[in-house]
A and B are shown apart, each in its own frame.
Chain A
Amino acid sequence: MSVSVIAFTELLGARVRDADGRLIGQLRDGVVLPQEATARVAFLVVVGPEGERLIALGDVESCGGRLIRVAPGIRGETVALPEALFLKRDLLDQQVIDVHGRKVVRVNDIDLEARPTNGRTELSVLDVDVGARGALRRLGKGLLPRRTLRALLARVPTRAIPWHFVDLIEADPARRVKLKIAYEGLAKLHPADIADIIEDLPPAERESVFETIDEEIAAGALEELQPKIKVAVVQSLDSERAADIVEEMAPDAAADLLADLPAEDSGAILSEMAPEERQPITRLLEFGQKTAAGRMTTEFLALPVDATVRDGMESLRTFPGGFKSALVIYLLDRERELCGGVTLLKIATATPATPLRSLTATPMITCSTEAGDEEVAELFDKYNLLTLPVVDDHQRLVGIITADDVLSLLRHRG
């Protein structure tokens, strides 16, 4: 016999007999132990006259839609299982994350691969069916003759997600640890896609994702969430975890988020943060939210006015901020007054000894800390800017606004 694929719901209810033909019971569920193997079915749950029994897959000789045959003398054990994934209880009809398709889907059926080895049959989860085929199979089971149903199903296109592209969702932290649910697939996606998926989840499940994934990824996804959901998620986390994530956010995004929270929540989060992370955020929080200073980030690249291209390259190499903040290197004089800005392109195409000052774009476009959203948007539009330096009353550079900030402020206003 060769490898075959069996639908889990087709197996459910199958009679389980031993090699002598003695009936043990009917199949009720399948058990996967993710701690040991992520796809292998370790036990079958069989319900018979004596109640529920577990049969190890090592005792299963063959597996068919109507009959499961086990080795002679096997009666099943009544041991209590440790935390495990029950296919029917925990997976069938539940929502999972389709990492490949980047969305939340509901499981209609589970395809199992049956592999005969040494007179035994091994079962492992191949994929989850989220399409019409799985649904039709379950609706038709017992109502239509098997053969008719099978012929009908063969015409329905399959929509299945390979098991390694499936991320399970589990709101209970203890179970999450025991089942090794870490949203690994989800964490590999783009932050904006992670945010879209999270928005489709119920609150407890959202919280579980943010408790589990890496802080840096969580910060990226959090920035992309709708403002209302963002606030709800942060409030659901304990302030220590929230502070860990907020520390990884760009200061302006962090300040915007904290400004939307009730004072006691934002205070609790700030007090959990390291002082050097906290300071730029508290400074931003002092400005009005709808002014240039409220929109800007304090993460930018600035060098003394007499720096050369070589210095510029060096500072780029060590710059800890994101790439949006490194598009332009600003030049400051001794009083920290802004003298000009040099774009990355100019730096990349000039010789190392060139003074940066000779590469500055003219005229230098800036705005004041008090500039409104409208003025900022106009400047970006008129001068086709990627970044806009914000200066105080003494022409000192205090922060920059990047083009993506303007895009989101325009979008949320309209």
Chain B
Amino acid sequence: MAMLLAVVGPGIITANVDNDAGGIYTYSLAGARFGYSLLWTMIPITIALVVVQEMAARMGAVTGKGLSDLIREQFGLRTTFLLMAALIVTNFGNIVAEFAGIASSVELFDAPRYVVVPLAAVVVWLVVVFGTYRSVEKVFLAASAFYVAYIVAGVLAKPDWYAALLGTVERPRSIVLTSHDYLYMVIGLVGTTIAPWMQFYLQASIVEKGISAKQYRASRLDVVIGCVFTDVVAWFIIVACAATLFAAHHHDIRDAADAAQALRPLAGEYAYLLFAAGLFNASLFAASILPISTAYTVCEGLGFEAGLDKRFGEAPVFYWLYTVLVVAGAGVLLLPNVPLVHVMVLSQVVNGIVLPVVLVFMLRLTNDRSLLGSHANSRIYNVIASATVLIVAVLTVLMLFTS
């Protein structure tokens, strides 16, 4: 137990950030459109998430190096450069989405985005630049706990528990699987749950926390708990929307804030408030992590000085990249007539290209015995991991072509 407390954090935080503005929207939409009939995806998605995250955590603990370091050392400069450039594009899209989540959630409370968004950007910038890893991690863990709001909202929505549980374990009827819309939603759920940035972030925070190969067993538990909790939250979001929006034939929602709004007359004032506050928390949380994680990943992979313990003059690329991501990510929301949709689509497309590449690299790295020694993938694990990677990769590429 003491062992677990010493290493807890990275796994839980990474998995929770995954339920960001985009994630909450996708889950809400899944519930609103298809009721309980998509809940079965949660179990395979959780397994896939655990398998992928476990590899990143293991590499971090055993090698003490970040994922972008390892990719650079094993696959060379050009590959790393292209990957990092793509990662900046897709992460930037995500950052914009987080600030959009902040803007739309505060607008539910009648707060003006022109005040709150810049304020949020400043808070994000300050927390990261002036916080130490330890203090920031505590703030993040507290933010993770706040996701319970969605579980409460799910209960308040008074779902049909029997139908929901049945939907979770029952095989989906083959008729729905042939429906294009339904399939597209399945792909969306996978795509929003497993993202490239998470692998880089998780591995880097395992290294930063100084978790060693000896502590790895406890760290793996941290990863599993994080993934399970995250998907339980996702389950409740789907259930909440299924019990209310789907039941009331309110099938179309524009974004996560719209979902909260639609819940108001159906699930009551409290469920609405929890949904709105939860969205704000999730967006701010993810907006704090994505820019700094991107700056670290890119600088380490390309060999620029990186780290908050360095002065601006010592690590200019690092600080500039970080600052530009925060300022531009928030700034886009304040400009009138910015084609947000295009930014998002581009980000999704690049995400779809980057994810399979990253997953394949991770598979190759975790099979390298000169790198991981006895911690390299076992044969059985490889079968599971390869299957997961293959399915996720195929689904993301499919999403690319259907969108």
Contacts and interface: CB of A to CB of B under 8 A. Distances in A.
Interface stretch (B70-78, B143-151, B340-348, B381-389): B70-78
Interface string A94-119: 10000000010110100000000000
A228 interface: yes
B72 A203 contact: no
B265 interface: no
A221 to B, nearest CB: 18
Among the interface residues A106, A138, A204, A205, which one has the most CB atoms of the partner chain B within 10 A? A106
Contacts of B212: 203, 232
Given A93-B73, A203-B212, A204-B64, A139 B303 contact: no
Q: What's the interface size class on B, roughly?
A: 10 to 19
B65 interface: yes
Contacts of B77: 93, 108, 135, 138-139
Nearest to A134: B77
Nearest to B65: A202
B268 interface: no
A137 to B, nearest CB: 10
A135 B317 CA distance: 15
Nearest to B80: A93
Contacts of A108: 77, 303
Nearest to B60: A202
A135 B302 CA distance: 9
Q: What's the interface size class on A, roughly?
A: 10 to 19
Given A202-B64, A202-B65, A228-B210, A138 B303 contact: no
Nearest to B303: A106
Nearest to B309: A199
A93 B72 contact: yes
B2 to A, nearest CB: 11
Interface string A119-139: 000000000001000010011
Contacts of A202: 63-65, 207
Interface string B51-66: 0000000000001110
B73 A229 contact: no
Interface in B199-250: 207, 210, 212
A130 B78 CA distance: 15
A94 B75 CA distance: 11
A138 B80 CA distance: 12
A130 B302 CA distance: 10
A205 B210 CA distance: 14
Interface string A125-161: 0000010000100110000000000000000000000
Given A108-B303, A138-B78, A203 B64 contact: yes
A94 B64 contact: no
A94 B73 contact: yes
Interface in A170-212: 202-205
A105 B303 contact: yes
Interface in A44-99: 92-94
B130 interface: no
B320 interface: no
B161 interface: no
B70 to A, nearest CB: 10
Contacts of A92: 76
Contacts of A93: 72-73, 76-77
A203 B302 CA distance: 21
Contacts of A105: 303
Contacts of A103: 305
Interface in B30-84: 63-65, 72-73, 76-78, 81
B383 to A, nearest CB: 29
A61 to B, nearest CB: 30
B174 to A, nearest CB: 49
B293 to A, nearest CB: 19
20 contacts: A92-B76, A93-B73, A93-B77, A94-B73, A105-B303, A108-B77, A130-B303, A135-B77, A138-B76, A138-B77, A138-B78, A139-B77, A202-B63, A202-B207, A203-B212, A204-B63, A205-B64, A228-B210, A229-B210, A232-B212
